[in-house]
Chains A and B, each alone.
Chain A
Amino acid sequence: MSSILNLTRREIYSYFVSPIAYTVIIMFLLIVGLGFFFSVFLYSSLNDTAIAEGNQNIRTYVIQFMSFWVNLALMLALPALSMRVLSEERKNGTAELLMTSPITTTQLVLGKFLGTLAILALMLLLTLPLLITIDFWADPEWPALGAAYLGYFLFGAVILAIGLFASSLTENQIVALLMTYPMLLPLWLSELLLGRFSGWANQVVGALSLRNASLTMSLGVIESHAIVLACGLMFLFLFLCVQVIDSARWR
Protein backbone atom coordinates (compact mmCIF):
# COMPACT_ATOMS: atom_id res chain seq x y z
CA MET A 1 0.00 0.00 0.00
CA SER A 2 2.81 2.41 0.83
CA SER A 3 4.30 1.64 -2.60
CA ILE A 4 1.02 2.65 -4.21
CA LEU A 5 0.78 5.88 -2.21
CA ASN A 6 4.40 6.72 -3.02
CA LEU A 7 3.52 6.56 -6.73
CA THR A 8 0.35 8.56 -6.11
CA ARG A 9 2.30 11.31 -4.32
CA ARG A 10 4.76 11.59 -7.17
CA GLU A 11 1.96 11.74 -9.71
CA ILE A 12 0.28 14.64 -7.90
CA TYR A 13 3.65 16.36 -7.41
CA SER A 14 4.33 16.21 -11.15
CA TYR A 15 0.92 17.59 -12.02
CA PHE A 16 1.46 20.66 -9.88
CA VAL A 17 5.04 21.52 -10.74
CA SER A 18 4.11 21.57 -14.41
CA PRO A 19 1.31 23.70 -15.90
CA ILE A 20 -0.84 20.66 -16.75
CA ALA A 21 -3.02 20.51 -13.64
CA TYR A 22 -3.54 24.26 -13.50
CA THR A 23 -4.52 24.47 -17.18
CA VAL A 24 -6.89 21.54 -16.98
CA ILE A 25 -8.50 22.75 -13.76
CA ILE A 26 -8.99 26.27 -15.11
CA MET A 27 -10.51 24.93 -18.31
CA PHE A 28 -12.84 22.72 -16.28
CA LEU A 29 -13.93 25.54 -13.97
CA LEU A 30 -14.53 27.88 -16.91
CA ILE A 31 -16.89 25.45 -18.60
CA VAL A 32 -18.68 24.54 -15.38
CA GLY A 33 -18.94 28.21 -14.39
CA LEU A 34 -20.38 29.08 -17.76
CA GLY A 35 -22.90 26.26 -17.47
CA PHE A 36 -23.85 27.42 -13.99
CA PHE A 37 -24.34 30.95 -15.19
CA PHE A 38 -26.57 29.82 -18.07
CA SER A 39 -28.73 27.64 -15.85
CA VAL A 40 -29.20 30.28 -13.17
CA PHE A 41 -29.93 32.85 -15.87
CA LEU A 42 -32.57 30.61 -17.45
CA TYR A 43 -34.11 29.79 -14.09
CA SER A 44 -34.38 33.42 -13.10
CA SER A 45 -36.04 34.30 -16.41
CA LEU A 46 -38.87 31.84 -15.71
CA ASN A 47 -41.90 33.59 -14.24
CA ASP A 48 -43.43 32.44 -11.01
CA THR A 49 -46.38 30.66 -12.57
CA ALA A 50 -44.18 28.57 -14.79
CA ILE A 51 -42.20 27.53 -11.78
CA ALA A 52 -45.35 26.67 -9.85
CA GLU A 53 -46.96 24.77 -12.73
CA GLY A 54 -43.92 22.97 -14.03
CA ASN A 55 -42.87 21.80 -10.61
CA GLN A 56 -39.55 23.41 -11.26
CA ASN A 57 -37.51 23.90 -8.18
CA ILE A 58 -33.95 25.14 -8.13
CA ARG A 59 -32.51 21.67 -7.83
CA THR A 60 -34.26 20.03 -10.76
CA TYR A 61 -33.73 23.09 -12.88
CA VAL A 62 -30.31 24.46 -12.10
CA ILE A 63 -28.53 21.32 -11.00
CA GLN A 64 -29.92 19.06 -13.68
CA PHE A 65 -29.13 21.58 -16.36
CA MET A 66 -25.71 22.13 -14.92
CA SER A 67 -24.88 18.44 -14.81
CA PHE A 68 -24.74 18.39 -18.60
CA TRP A 69 -22.05 21.03 -18.43
CA VAL A 70 -20.13 19.25 -15.72
CA ASN A 71 -20.13 16.03 -17.73
CA LEU A 72 -19.04 17.90 -20.84
CA ALA A 73 -16.25 19.63 -18.94
CA LEU A 74 -15.09 16.32 -17.46
CA MET A 75 -15.01 14.72 -20.90
CA LEU A 76 -12.91 17.57 -22.25
CA ALA A 77 -10.58 18.01 -19.28
CA LEU A 78 -9.86 14.53 -17.94
CA PRO A 79 -8.42 12.87 -21.07
CA ALA A 80 -5.94 15.75 -21.15
CA LEU A 81 -4.98 14.78 -17.63
CA SER A 82 -4.69 11.04 -18.18
CA MET A 83 -3.01 11.06 -21.60
CA ARG A 84 0.49 11.57 -20.21
CA VAL A 85 0.33 9.23 -17.25
CA LEU A 86 1.90 6.12 -18.78
CA SER A 87 2.96 7.28 -22.23
CA GLU A 88 5.34 9.82 -20.75
CA GLU A 89 6.99 7.19 -18.56
CA ARG A 90 7.74 5.15 -21.63
CA LYS A 91 9.00 8.11 -23.61
CA ASN A 92 11.27 9.41 -20.84
CA GLY A 93 12.71 6.00 -20.04
CA THR A 94 11.40 6.19 -16.49
CA ALA A 95 9.31 3.11 -17.26
CA GLU A 96 12.57 1.21 -17.00
CA LEU A 97 13.04 2.51 -13.45
CA LEU A 98 9.48 1.63 -12.44
CA MET A 99 9.54 -1.80 -14.01
CA THR A 100 12.86 -2.78 -12.46
CA SER A 101 11.69 -1.70 -9.01
CA PRO A 102 10.09 -4.08 -6.54
CA ILE A 103 6.50 -3.15 -7.38
CA THR A 104 3.90 -5.09 -9.31
CA THR A 105 2.25 -3.73 -12.44
CA THR A 106 -1.06 -3.62 -10.59
CA GLN A 107 0.47 -1.43 -7.87
CA LEU A 108 1.91 0.81 -10.55
CA VAL A 109 -1.41 1.27 -12.34
CA LEU A 110 -3.37 1.73 -9.11
CA GLY A 111 -0.88 4.29 -7.78
CA LYS A 112 -1.16 6.33 -10.93
CA PHE A 113 -4.93 5.97 -11.09
CA LEU A 114 -5.26 7.23 -7.51
CA GLY A 115 -3.10 10.22 -8.43
CA THR A 116 -5.45 11.22 -11.25
CA LEU A 117 -8.48 10.58 -9.01
CA ALA A 118 -7.05 13.04 -6.49
CA ILE A 119 -6.96 15.74 -9.15
CA LEU A 120 -10.52 14.88 -10.15
CA ALA A 121 -11.63 15.19 -6.52
CA LEU A 122 -9.93 18.57 -6.27
CA MET A 123 -11.60 19.75 -9.47
CA LEU A 124 -15.03 18.83 -8.13
CA LEU A 125 -14.27 20.42 -4.75
CA LEU A 126 -13.42 23.67 -6.48
CA THR A 127 -16.95 23.87 -7.92
CA LEU A 128 -18.43 23.98 -4.39
CA PRO A 129 -18.43 27.81 -4.22
CA LEU A 130 -21.02 27.79 -7.02
CA LEU A 131 -23.33 25.64 -4.94
CA ILE A 132 -22.75 27.76 -1.86
CA THR A 133 -24.02 30.78 -3.79
CA ILE A 134 -27.26 28.85 -4.44
CA ASP A 135 -27.48 28.22 -0.73
CA PHE A 136 -27.80 32.00 -0.20
CA TRP A 137 -31.17 32.34 -1.89
CA ALA A 138 -32.61 28.80 -1.96
CA ASP A 139 -32.14 25.34 -0.55
CA PRO A 140 -30.02 23.32 -2.99
CA GLU A 141 -30.87 20.10 -1.10
CA TRP A 142 -27.39 19.07 -0.12
CA PRO A 143 -27.97 15.30 0.20
CA ALA A 144 -29.28 15.16 -3.35
CA LEU A 145 -26.31 17.23 -4.47
CA GLY A 146 -24.04 14.72 -2.75
CA ALA A 147 -25.54 11.98 -4.91
CA ALA A 148 -25.01 14.15 -7.99
CA TYR A 149 -21.37 14.70 -7.09
CA LEU A 150 -20.83 11.00 -6.45
CA GLY A 151 -22.18 10.53 -9.97
CA TYR A 152 -19.76 13.09 -11.39
CA PHE A 153 -16.89 11.45 -9.54
CA LEU A 154 -17.75 7.99 -10.85
CA PHE A 155 -18.22 9.34 -14.36
CA GLY A 156 -14.85 11.08 -14.12
CA ALA A 157 -13.19 7.95 -12.74
CA VAL A 158 -14.42 5.94 -15.74
CA ILE A 159 -13.00 8.56 -18.13
CA LEU A 160 -9.68 8.42 -16.28
CA ALA A 161 -9.56 4.61 -16.39
CA ILE A 162 -10.19 4.72 -20.15
CA GLY A 163 -7.56 7.44 -20.51
CA LEU A 164 -5.03 5.45 -18.52
CA PHE A 165 -5.63 2.44 -20.74
CA ALA A 166 -5.16 4.58 -23.85
CA SER A 167 -2.01 6.02 -22.34
CA SER A 168 -0.57 2.53 -21.86
CA LEU A 169 -0.96 1.79 -25.56
CA THR A 170 1.39 4.42 -26.95
CA GLU A 171 4.43 6.54 -26.27
CA ASN A 172 2.70 9.54 -27.78
CA GLN A 173 0.49 11.66 -25.53
CA ILE A 174 -1.54 13.08 -28.39
CA VAL A 175 -2.27 9.62 -29.75
CA ALA A 176 -3.30 8.59 -26.24
CA LEU A 177 -5.67 11.57 -26.07
CA LEU A 178 -7.17 10.78 -29.46
CA MET A 179 -7.63 7.13 -28.55
CA THR A 180 -9.53 7.99 -25.38
CA TYR A 181 -12.49 9.48 -27.23
CA PRO A 182 -13.38 6.55 -29.50
CA MET A 183 -13.61 4.42 -26.36
CA LEU A 184 -15.46 7.01 -24.30
CA LEU A 185 -17.94 8.48 -26.78
CA PRO A 186 -19.84 5.27 -27.62
CA LEU A 187 -20.51 4.81 -23.90
CA TRP A 188 -21.76 8.37 -23.75
CA LEU A 189 -23.78 8.28 -26.98
CA SER A 190 -25.17 4.75 -26.80
CA GLU A 191 -28.31 6.31 -25.35
CA LEU A 192 -29.13 7.67 -28.82
CA LEU A 193 -29.51 4.11 -30.05
CA LEU A 194 -32.04 3.32 -27.38
CA GLY A 195 -35.28 2.02 -28.94
CA ARG A 196 -33.64 1.30 -32.28
CA PHE A 197 -33.11 -2.32 -31.42
CA SER A 198 -35.43 -4.78 -29.81
CA GLY A 199 -35.06 -7.26 -26.99
CA TRP A 200 -31.69 -7.89 -25.42
CA ALA A 201 -29.78 -5.60 -27.76
CA ASN A 202 -31.84 -2.69 -26.57
CA GLN A 203 -31.26 -3.68 -22.97
CA VAL A 204 -27.51 -3.85 -23.52
CA VAL A 205 -27.47 -0.41 -25.13
CA GLY A 206 -29.47 0.99 -22.25
CA ALA A 207 -27.34 -0.72 -19.63
CA LEU A 208 -24.11 0.60 -21.13
CA SER A 209 -25.29 4.18 -21.41
CA LEU A 210 -22.94 6.12 -19.21
CA ARG A 211 -24.91 9.27 -19.88
CA ASN A 212 -28.13 7.82 -18.56
CA ALA A 213 -26.42 6.57 -15.45
CA SER A 214 -24.79 9.93 -14.88
CA LEU A 215 -28.02 11.87 -15.43
CA THR A 216 -29.93 9.65 -13.02
CA MET A 217 -27.35 10.29 -10.33
CA SER A 218 -27.42 14.00 -11.00
CA LEU A 219 -31.12 14.01 -10.12
CA GLY A 220 -30.13 12.89 -6.66
CA VAL A 221 -30.89 9.22 -7.13
CA ILE A 222 -28.19 6.81 -6.03
CA GLU A 223 -28.84 4.00 -8.43
CA SER A 224 -27.12 0.66 -8.03
CA HIS A 225 -27.01 0.15 -11.79
CA ALA A 226 -25.06 3.39 -12.27
CA ILE A 227 -22.53 2.42 -9.59
CA VAL A 228 -22.11 -1.12 -10.91
CA LEU A 229 -21.68 0.16 -14.46
CA ALA A 230 -19.06 2.73 -13.45
CA CYS A 231 -17.10 0.34 -11.23
CA GLY A 232 -17.30 -2.40 -13.83
CA LEU A 233 -15.95 -0.13 -16.57
CA MET A 234 -13.21 1.16 -14.26
CA PHE A 235 -12.17 -2.36 -13.38
CA LEU A 236 -12.26 -3.47 -17.03
CA PHE A 237 -10.06 -0.66 -18.32
CA LEU A 238 -7.56 -0.78 -15.45
CA PHE A 239 -7.32 -4.53 -15.89
CA LEU A 240 -6.66 -4.08 -19.63
CA CYS A 241 -4.09 -1.43 -18.77
CA VAL A 242 -2.16 -3.87 -16.53
CA GLN A 243 -2.33 -6.49 -19.27
CA VAL A 244 -0.97 -4.10 -21.87
CA ILE A 245 1.98 -3.07 -19.69
CA ASP A 246 2.80 -6.67 -18.83
CA SER A 247 2.57 -7.83 -22.42
CA ALA A 248 4.73 -4.95 -23.60
CA ARG A 249 7.60 -6.66 -21.78
CA TRP A 250 7.16 -9.77 -23.86
CA ARG A 251 7.54 -8.03 -27.18
Chain B
Amino acid sequence: MVNVDKLSKAYGNRVCVWDVSFDVARGEILGFLGPNGAGKTTTMRMITGFIPPSAGTARVAGVDVTKDPLSVQSRIGYLCEAPPIYREMVVKSYLKFVAGLKRVPRAKQKVALERAIELCGLEHVQNRVIGNLSKGYRQRVGLAQAILPEPEVLILDEPTSGLDPLQIMEIRQRIRELSGEQTVILSTHILPEVTAICTRVVIINEGQIVAQDSIDGITAGGASDNVKVKVARDSDDLAQRIKALGGIQRMVRGEPGVYQLKLDREGEVRERLSGMLVESGAGLIELSPERETLEDVFRNLVTEEDTAA
Protein backbone atom coordinates (compact mmCIF):
# COMPACT_ATOMS: atom_id res chain seq x y z
CA MET B 1 0.00 0.00 0.00
CA VAL B 2 2.82 2.35 0.90
CA ASN B 3 6.22 1.90 -0.73
CA VAL B 4 9.10 3.99 0.42
CA ASP B 5 12.16 3.60 -1.72
CA LYS B 6 15.59 5.02 -0.84
CA LEU B 7 14.05 8.19 0.57
CA SER B 8 16.54 10.86 1.63
CA LYS B 9 16.25 14.41 2.84
CA ALA B 10 19.02 16.90 3.44
CA TYR B 11 18.75 20.48 4.63
CA GLY B 12 21.88 22.21 3.45
CA ASN B 13 24.59 19.75 4.38
CA ARG B 14 22.70 18.36 7.35
CA VAL B 15 21.27 14.99 6.40
CA CYS B 16 17.97 14.27 8.14
CA VAL B 17 16.89 11.08 6.47
CA TRP B 18 19.21 8.82 4.55
CA ASP B 19 18.28 5.99 2.22
CA VAL B 20 15.13 4.89 4.02
CA SER B 21 13.19 2.06 2.36
CA PHE B 22 10.23 0.08 3.63
CA ASP B 23 6.89 -1.28 2.46
CA VAL B 24 3.61 -1.37 4.29
CA ALA B 25 0.96 -3.86 3.23
CA ARG B 26 -2.76 -3.13 3.27
CA GLY B 27 -4.28 -3.42 6.74
CA GLU B 28 -0.94 -3.40 8.52
CA ILE B 29 -0.10 -1.18 11.47
CA LEU B 30 3.50 -0.13 11.13
CA GLY B 31 5.32 1.33 14.10
CA PHE B 32 7.93 3.86 13.18
CA LEU B 33 10.23 3.88 16.14
CA GLY B 34 13.18 6.09 16.92
CA PRO B 35 14.56 8.51 19.47
CA ASN B 36 13.78 12.21 19.20
CA GLY B 37 15.29 13.77 16.12
CA ALA B 38 15.80 10.47 14.33
CA GLY B 39 13.95 11.65 11.21
CA LYS B 40 10.52 10.14 11.84
CA THR B 41 8.58 13.34 11.24
CA THR B 42 10.64 14.24 8.18
CA THR B 43 9.97 10.83 6.64
CA MET B 44 6.25 11.11 7.30
CA ARG B 45 6.14 14.61 5.88
CA MET B 46 7.74 13.29 2.71
CA ILE B 47 5.17 10.49 2.41
CA THR B 48 2.34 13.00 2.79
CA GLY B 49 3.83 15.39 0.25
CA PHE B 50 4.28 18.21 2.75
CA ILE B 51 7.96 18.41 1.88
CA PRO B 52 9.62 16.93 -1.20
CA PRO B 53 12.39 14.34 -0.79
CA SER B 54 15.95 15.20 -1.79
CA ALA B 55 16.20 11.75 -3.36
CA GLY B 56 14.17 8.60 -3.63
CA THR B 57 10.45 8.09 -3.96
CA ALA B 58 7.44 7.53 -1.75
CA ARG B 59 4.43 5.80 -3.29
CA VAL B 60 0.95 5.41 -1.92
CA ALA B 61 -1.18 2.87 -3.77
CA GLY B 62 1.41 2.94 -6.54
CA VAL B 63 1.25 6.70 -7.04
CA ASP B 64 4.42 8.77 -6.62
CA VAL B 65 3.81 11.61 -4.17
CA THR B 66 5.95 14.11 -6.04
CA LYS B 67 4.33 13.28 -9.40
CA ASP B 68 0.69 13.46 -8.34
CA PRO B 69 0.42 14.89 -4.82
CA LEU B 70 -3.33 15.54 -4.99
CA SER B 71 -4.13 11.92 -5.80
CA VAL B 72 -1.98 10.70 -2.90
CA GLN B 73 -3.33 13.33 -0.54
CA SER B 74 -6.90 12.29 -1.24
CA ARG B 75 -6.01 8.79 -0.02
CA ILE B 76 -4.29 9.69 3.22
CA GLY B 77 -5.31 11.00 6.58
CA TYR B 78 -2.51 12.70 8.44
CA LEU B 79 -2.16 13.74 12.03
CA CYS B 80 0.95 15.81 12.42
CA GLU B 81 2.92 16.21 15.62
CA ALA B 82 0.96 19.21 16.87
CA PRO B 83 -2.71 18.63 16.05
CA PRO B 84 -3.58 20.99 13.16
CA ILE B 85 -6.51 22.70 14.82
CA TYR B 86 -8.03 26.15 14.64
CA ARG B 87 -8.41 27.12 18.28
CA GLU B 88 -11.22 29.57 17.61
CA MET B 89 -13.44 27.03 15.86
CA VAL B 90 -16.15 24.79 17.28
CA VAL B 91 -15.27 21.07 17.02
CA LYS B 92 -18.13 20.28 14.66
CA SER B 93 -17.53 23.22 12.31
CA TYR B 94 -13.86 22.34 12.22
CA LEU B 95 -14.57 18.75 11.22
CA LYS B 96 -17.05 19.96 8.60
CA PHE B 97 -14.34 22.19 7.18
CA VAL B 98 -11.92 19.25 7.05
CA ALA B 99 -14.55 17.12 5.30
CA GLY B 100 -14.79 19.76 2.59
CA LEU B 101 -11.03 20.13 2.45
CA LYS B 102 -10.58 16.38 1.96
CA ARG B 103 -13.31 16.35 -0.68
CA VAL B 104 -15.66 14.02 1.10
CA PRO B 105 -18.76 13.99 -1.15
CA ARG B 106 -21.48 16.19 0.30
CA ALA B 107 -23.95 13.31 0.62
CA LYS B 108 -21.50 11.31 2.73
CA GLN B 109 -20.28 14.17 4.91
CA LYS B 110 -22.86 13.79 7.64
CA VAL B 111 -22.21 10.08 8.12
CA ALA B 112 -18.43 10.53 8.00
CA LEU B 113 -18.68 13.32 10.56
CA GLU B 114 -20.75 11.26 12.96
CA ARG B 115 -18.46 8.27 12.59
CA ALA B 116 -15.34 10.32 13.36
CA ILE B 117 -16.99 12.00 16.34
CA GLU B 118 -18.13 8.69 17.73
CA LEU B 119 -14.85 6.83 17.13
CA CYS B 120 -12.87 9.53 18.87
CA GLY B 121 -15.35 9.94 21.71
CA LEU B 122 -16.11 13.57 20.98
CA GLU B 123 -19.92 13.43 21.31
CA HIS B 124 -20.22 15.65 24.35
CA VAL B 125 -17.67 18.25 23.24
CA GLN B 126 -18.73 18.58 19.61
CA ASN B 127 -20.30 22.00 20.16
CA ARG B 128 -17.42 23.44 22.13
CA VAL B 129 -14.64 25.75 21.00
CA ILE B 130 -11.46 23.73 20.38
CA GLY B 131 -9.24 26.25 22.17
CA ASN B 132 -11.15 25.64 25.40
CA LEU B 133 -10.66 21.87 25.31
CA SER B 134 -7.99 20.01 27.27
CA LYS B 135 -4.87 18.80 25.51
CA GLY B 136 -6.17 15.23 25.36
CA TYR B 137 -9.37 16.30 23.64
CA ARG B 138 -7.46 18.47 21.20
CA GLN B 139 -5.38 15.43 20.31
CA ARG B 140 -8.59 13.47 19.79
CA VAL B 141 -9.94 16.23 17.54
CA GLY B 142 -6.69 15.88 15.59
CA LEU B 143 -7.23 12.15 15.29
CA ALA B 144 -10.86 12.67 14.26
CA GLN B 145 -9.64 15.02 11.56
CA ALA B 146 -7.28 12.33 10.23
CA ILE B 147 -9.79 9.46 10.16
CA LEU B 148 -12.75 11.57 9.00
CA PRO B 149 -12.36 11.03 5.22
CA GLU B 150 -11.95 7.26 5.86
CA PRO B 151 -8.57 7.32 4.15
CA GLU B 152 -6.90 4.19 2.84
CA VAL B 153 -3.72 5.14 4.65
CA LEU B 154 -3.56 6.77 8.03
CA ILE B 155 -0.33 8.49 9.03
CA LEU B 156 -0.06 9.42 12.69
CA ASP B 157 2.92 11.32 14.04
CA GLU B 158 3.28 10.61 17.76
CA PRO B 159 -0.48 10.34 18.30
CA THR B 160 -0.19 9.83 22.05
CA SER B 161 2.39 12.47 22.92
CA GLY B 162 1.45 14.73 25.78
CA LEU B 163 -1.47 12.62 26.96
CA ASP B 164 -2.02 11.09 30.37
CA PRO B 165 -1.83 7.28 30.69
CA LEU B 166 -5.58 6.82 30.58
CA GLN B 167 -5.93 8.91 27.44
CA ILE B 168 -2.99 7.07 25.89
CA MET B 169 -4.77 3.77 26.43
CA GLU B 170 -7.92 5.17 24.90
CA ILE B 171 -6.22 6.54 21.80
CA ARG B 172 -4.38 3.23 21.32
CA GLN B 173 -7.69 1.44 21.57
CA ARG B 174 -9.16 3.70 18.86
CA ILE B 175 -6.21 3.03 16.58
CA ARG B 176 -6.46 -0.73 17.09
CA GLU B 177 -10.14 -0.53 16.23
CA LEU B 178 -9.22 0.99 12.88
CA SER B 179 -6.86 -1.77 11.88
CA GLY B 180 -7.89 -4.23 9.22
CA GLU B 181 -9.74 -1.72 7.08
CA GLN B 182 -7.02 0.88 7.09
CA THR B 183 -3.28 0.88 6.70
CA VAL B 184 -1.66 2.75 9.55
CA ILE B 185 1.81 4.20 9.90
CA LEU B 186 2.46 5.44 13.38
CA SER B 187 5.56 7.10 14.74
CA THR B 188 6.58 7.07 18.34
CA HIS B 189 9.52 7.16 20.67
CA ILE B 190 7.61 5.21 23.29
CA LEU B 191 8.50 1.52 23.07
CA PRO B 192 5.55 -0.21 24.74
CA GLU B 193 3.29 1.63 22.31
CA VAL B 194 4.71 -0.35 19.42
CA THR B 195 4.24 -3.71 21.11
CA ALA B 196 0.74 -2.62 22.15
CA ILE B 197 -0.55 -1.58 18.76
CA CYS B 198 1.69 -2.46 15.86
CA THR B 199 2.05 -5.53 13.72
CA ARG B 200 5.37 -4.49 12.31
CA VAL B 201 8.14 -2.15 13.34
CA VAL B 202 10.75 -0.03 11.60
CA ILE B 203 13.46 1.30 13.88
CA ILE B 204 15.16 4.44 12.71
CA ASN B 205 18.09 6.26 14.20
CA GLU B 206 19.96 9.31 12.96
CA GLY B 207 18.00 9.24 9.74
CA GLN B 208 18.77 5.63 8.88
CA ILE B 209 16.82 2.43 9.31
CA VAL B 210 18.59 0.15 11.78
CA ALA B 211 16.07 -2.67 11.85
CA GLN B 212 12.72 -3.66 10.40
CA ASP B 213 10.71 -6.77 11.03
CA SER B 214 7.54 -8.03 12.63
CA ILE B 215 7.38 -7.50 16.39
CA ASP B 216 8.00 -11.22 17.06
CA GLY B 217 10.82 -11.43 14.56
CA ILE B 218 12.67 -8.46 15.88
CA THR B 219 12.67 -9.55 19.51
CA ALA B 220 13.72 -13.12 18.65
CA GLY B 221 16.58 -11.96 16.45
CA GLY B 222 20.12 -11.04 17.43
CA ALA B 223 23.27 -13.07 17.85
CA SER B 224 22.84 -13.83 21.51
CA ASP B 225 20.62 -15.63 23.98
CA ASN B 226 19.55 -14.21 27.28
CA VAL B 227 19.40 -16.74 30.04
CA LYS B 228 18.33 -16.53 33.62
CA VAL B 229 20.03 -18.92 36.07
CA LYS B 230 18.90 -19.62 39.61
CA VAL B 231 20.87 -21.85 42.01
CA ALA B 232 20.22 -22.95 45.60
CA ARG B 233 23.76 -22.57 46.98
CA ASP B 234 25.54 -19.58 45.52
CA SER B 235 29.24 -18.90 45.98
CA ASP B 236 31.90 -16.59 44.57
CA ASP B 237 33.62 -19.66 43.26
CA LEU B 238 30.59 -20.48 41.15
CA ALA B 239 30.61 -17.01 39.66
CA GLN B 240 34.26 -17.46 38.71
CA ARG B 241 33.53 -20.80 37.09
CA ILE B 242 30.67 -19.38 35.04
CA LYS B 243 32.91 -16.56 33.82
CA ALA B 244 35.64 -18.99 32.93
CA LEU B 245 33.26 -21.04 30.83
CA GLY B 246 33.77 -18.91 27.73
CA GLY B 247 31.14 -17.59 25.35
CA ILE B 248 29.57 -15.43 28.06
CA GLN B 249 29.11 -11.91 26.75
CA ARG B 250 27.74 -10.35 29.87
CA MET B 251 27.03 -11.52 33.39
CA VAL B 252 24.92 -9.69 35.95
CA ARG B 253 24.71 -11.12 39.45
CA GLY B 254 21.50 -9.91 41.03
CA GLU B 255 20.13 -11.18 44.34
CA PRO B 256 22.11 -14.12 45.75
CA GLY B 257 21.77 -17.16 43.51
CA VAL B 258 20.32 -15.31 40.50
CA TYR B 259 22.38 -14.60 37.39
CA GLN B 260 21.39 -12.79 34.20
CA LEU B 261 23.59 -14.05 31.41
CA LYS B 262 24.04 -13.11 27.82
CA LEU B 263 25.48 -16.00 25.85
CA ASP B 264 26.90 -16.45 22.41
CA ARG B 265 24.42 -18.34 20.29
CA GLU B 266 27.28 -20.28 18.68
CA GLY B 267 29.33 -23.00 20.38
CA GLU B 268 26.68 -24.71 22.49
CA VAL B 269 27.31 -22.39 25.39
CA ARG B 270 23.96 -23.16 26.91
CA GLU B 271 24.66 -26.89 26.96
CA ARG B 272 28.08 -26.44 28.55
CA LEU B 273 26.63 -24.05 31.11
CA SER B 274 23.91 -26.43 32.25
CA GLY B 275 26.38 -29.31 32.42
CA MET B 276 28.79 -27.31 34.54
CA LEU B 277 26.05 -26.10 36.88
CA VAL B 278 24.74 -29.58 37.57
CA GLU B 279 28.26 -30.91 38.10
CA SER B 280 29.19 -28.15 40.53
CA GLY B 281 26.54 -29.27 42.97
CA ALA B 282 25.29 -25.75 43.49
CA GLY B 283 21.75 -27.00 43.19
CA LEU B 284 20.38 -25.73 39.87
CA ILE B 285 16.79 -24.59 40.35
CA GLU B 286 16.10 -22.66 37.18
CA LEU B 287 17.69 -22.09 33.80
CA SER B 288 15.32 -20.24 31.54
CA PRO B 289 15.76 -18.42 28.24
CA GLU B 290 14.56 -14.85 28.33
CA ARG B 291 13.13 -13.13 25.30
CA GLU B 292 14.60 -9.79 24.62
CA THR B 293 12.04 -7.09 25.01
CA LEU B 294 11.67 -4.54 22.27
CA GLU B 295 13.27 -2.13 24.67
CA ASP B 296 16.47 -4.19 24.73
CA VAL B 297 16.52 -4.43 20.96
CA PHE B 298 15.94 -0.74 20.61
CA ARG B 299 18.59 0.21 23.14
CA ASN B 300 21.12 -2.11 21.58
CA LEU B 301 20.51 -0.99 18.02
CA VAL B 302 20.53 2.66 18.89
CA THR B 303 23.57 2.54 21.15
CA GLU B 304 25.48 0.49 18.61
CA GLU B 305 24.79 3.23 16.14
CA ASP B 306 25.97 5.80 18.66
CA THR B 307 29.34 4.17 19.22
CA ALA B 308 29.83 3.72 15.48
CA ALA B 309 29.16 7.38 14.78
The total of Cβ contacts below 8 Å across the A-B interface reads: 74
Q: Is the CB of B49 within 8 A of A100?
A: yes
Q: What is the bound-complex CA distance between A99 and B87, given in angstroms? A: 19
Question: Min CB distance, B55 to chain A, in Å?
Answer: 14
- Asked if A13 and B100 sit within 8 Å, CB to CB, the answer is no
Contact digits for B65-95, partner A, Cβ 8 Å, 1 yes 0 no: 0000011011010101111111111000100
B133 at the interface (CB under 8 A from A): no
**A3-B101, A6-B101, A9-B97 given as contacts; is B86 within 8 A of A96 (CB)?**
no
- Cβ contacts under 8 Å, B83 to chain A: 93
Residue A122 at the chain B interface, CB threshold 8 Å: no
In Å, the complex CA distance between A93 and B175 comes to 23
Q: How far is the CA of A249 from the CA of B102 in the complex (A)?
A: 20
The reply to whether B80 and A93 form a contact with Cβ atoms under 8 Å apart is yes
Q: How large is the interface on A (under 10, 10 to 19, 20 to 34, 35 or more residues)?
A: 20 to 34
- Whether A94 contacts B86 by the Cβ 8 Å rule is yes
CA of A47 to CA of B103, assembled, Å = 64
A97 to B76, CA, bound (A): 11
Q: Are B50 and A96 in contact (CB under 8 A)?
A: yes
Q: Which residue of A lies closest to B69 (CB)?
A: A102
**B85-142 interface with A by 8 A CB criterion:** 85-89, 93, 97-98, 100-103, 129
CA distance A13 to B100 in the complex (A): 15
Give Cα A250–Cα B94 distance, bound, in whole angstroms: 29
Question: Is there contact, CB below 8 Å, between A250 and B84?
Answer: no
A97 and B145 contacting across the interface, CB-CB below 8 Å: yes
Q: Is A10 an interface residue (CB 8 A)?
A: yes
Those of A1-60 within 8 Å (CB) of chain B: 2-3, 6-7, 9-10, 13-14, 17-18
Q: Is A147 an interface residue, CB under 8 A from the partner?
A: no
B124-166 vs A, CB cutoff 8 Å, 1 = contact: the mask equals 0000010000000000000001000000000000000000000
The answer to whether B86 and A14 touch across the interface, beta carbons within 8 angstroms, is yes
Residue A98 is within 8 A (CB to CB) of chain B in the complex: yes
Can you add 12 more A-B contacts, CB < 8 Å, to A6-B101, A14-B86, A102-B103?
Answer: A10-B89, A96-B50, A97-B80, A97-B98, A98-B101, A101-B73, A101-B102, A102-B73, A102-B74, A102-B102, A249-B51, A250-B52
Binding site for B on A (CB under 8 A): 2-3, 6-7, 9-10, 13-14, 17-18, 92-104, 249-251
The 10 closest A-B pairs by CB, nearest first: A6-B100, A97-B84, A102-B74, A100-B48, A93-B82, A102-B73, A96-B80, A94-B84, A102-B70, A101-B101
A sample of 10 inter-chain contacts (CB < 8 A) reads A10-B86, A13-B89, A18-B88, A92-B84, A93-B84, A96-B78, A97-B80, A98-B101, A100-B50, A102-B71
